[in-house]
Amino acid sequence: MVKIAVMVSGGGTNLQALIDAERRGELKNGELSAVISSNADAYALKRANRAFIPSYVLRRHDFGSTEAYGQALAEMLEQLDIGLVVLAGFMTVLSSDFCRRFEGRIMNIHPSLIPSFCGPGFYGLHVHEAALAKGVKVTGATVHFVSEVVDGGAIILQKAVAVQQDDTPEVLQKRVMQEAEWKLLPHAVSLFCEGRLQIEGERVKIL
């Protein structure tokens, strides 16, 4: 059984999708074992407590550098014997050392079809604002492995979502969550825990 740590900073809607999937028996060979938040007031912590998942708070500003934060985070994950780290709305930049240490064992959900609308500055509503400003007809979500390059790791799964003519960023964000994020992330996590993801250079093969 692969122990999973979900790292959060806010509301935790993708965490809830994982909790719901686990209850339905859809996280095959995986167990939600820890929720780690960079924000002590994150609503995601309440979701974790309701699901009886141990939760922890590790705030970036309590550490002198990104590297020191990454070291503390890595030590916590290793003490908890975590096999997979899932970034689900985690708003703190991780150090290169941390990314290398957990290479192939960290995945992230991003609310666009990478390589569109990704990289530094593209997070939350900013992604959907950019998509609408560009006038794209299709957007979506991507689950990818995390590398030292922001949103640059190997793509695991993607799902397209139609953009409607009268969409606002908030309306589009909700549709992308419902139609793509909440479905893709549990599926990708399950594939990892089943040992069905194989990284081949910049690509991921599903076995």
As annotated, the active-site residues are 110
- Whole-number Å distance between alpha carbons of 156 and 19: 20
142: Cα separation from own chain's centroid: 10
Tell me how crowded residue 131 is: count the other CB atoms within 10 A of its CB: 27
- Whole-number Å distance between alpha carbons of 41 and 10: 8
Q: Is 130 helix (H, G, I), strand (E, B) or coil?
A: helix
Tell me how crowded residue 20 is: count the other CB atoms within 10 A of its CB: 13
Looking at residue 99, its amino acid is C
Q: Is 36 helix (H, G, I), strand (E, B) or coil?
A: strand
